[in-house]
Structure 1
Amino acid sequence: MGILRNLSEYIIACLKPPAKRIPKKTVNIRVKMDCEGCVRKVRNAVEDFEGVESFDVNQKLQRLTVTGFIDAKEVLEEVKNTGKTADIWPFVPYNLVTYPYARGAYDMKAPTGFVRNVPQAIGDPKSPEMKMMVLFNDDNPNACSVM
């Protein structure tokens, strides 16, 4: 059964015009969910959406993660049609940002371990501070061994 389904999906994908094909990607959406009923509404809206391979609804983080051959705007509109407040996930993990306390990056309403994704928080690789950080980095094979 699985082989036939995959074969039919492959044939359908090949027959589509190239302009209509959407690459596989992961979309994170922030959705205000207060109870299990809200989670159920969001889950029902996404599971029948065309092109979705997998999804995860996290009520604690107020986040919906959808993976598949989808368009982010279409998924966002589908979630908004449930009556929930939704927007694209504006946060990045704290450890991926060079300056997490830069203006506009630190947000009191952000989930634990996340900061806002703003250009000021990401360091310029050519700046002297970044060069010094890389100089003493354990991942750098040419790093200073004094440490």
Structure 2
Amino acid sequence: MGALDFLSDYFTISTRRKKRKAVQTVDIKVKMDCDGCVRRVKNAVSNLKGVKTVKVDRKQSRVTVTGYAEPNKVLNKVKSTGKRAEFWPYIPYNLVAYPYVAQAYDKKAPSGFVKNVVQALPSPNASDEKLATLFSDENPHACSIM
């Protein structure tokens, strides 16, 4: 450790540093028909400031962008290519309690996904215990069909 290193600890100039945004993943649904569409969308999004990776899945019509870019800026950049785009409206099938609710089930959804709607999630007022003990042998008021 030299004398300059020792003295630099005492005479540092503090500068304000901007807080860096958190790394986030943005999923966007974009209808892409050909390799040219895929290339156009990928080039447009990868030129945005803060974008680290761009993954395009043409079969699912899905673009996944990872980085520091804001989601609305990414969406607007994809729309600027002339493609109709929206945020990814689907969630994995196993995260939903009621996947076959009328609004949640979508035939156009990729396999393993359903729409993210409030009706598919369990309501906080529903008690699972009541349903479990409804036909129990220990319940004297249970339904008995014999």
Higher percent of residues as helix:
1
Counterpart in the other structure of 1:77: 76
Give unmatched runs, 5+ long, in structure 2. 1-15, 133-146
Distance 2:104 2:94 in 1: 13
Partner of 1:15: helix, strand, or coil? Answer: coil
Give unmatched runs, 5+ long, in structure 1. 1-13, 134-147
1:47/1:80 CA distance change after superposition, 3 Å: same
Paired residues in the alignment total 117
Counterpart in the other structure of 1:8: none
Contact 1:125/1:131 (CA < 8 Å) preserved in 2? no
Percent sequence identity over aligned pairs: 51
Deviation at 1:60, TM superposition (A): 0.5
- Larger Cα Rg: Structure 1 or Structure 2? 2
1:132/1:67 CA distance change after superposition, 3 Å: farther
Counterpart in the other structure of 1:58: 57
Q: Does 1:15 align with 2:17?
A: yes
RMSD: 2.0
Offset from partner CA, 1:95-116 (integer Å, 9 cap, x none): 1111001131001111111110
The TM-score with structure 1 as length reference comes to 0.72
Which aligned runs of 4 or more in structure 1 are off by greater than 4 angstroms? 130-133
Deviation at 1:50, TM superposition (A): 0.5
1:130/1:41 CA distance change after superposition, 3 Å: farther
1:59/1:131 CA distance change after superposition, 3 Å: farther
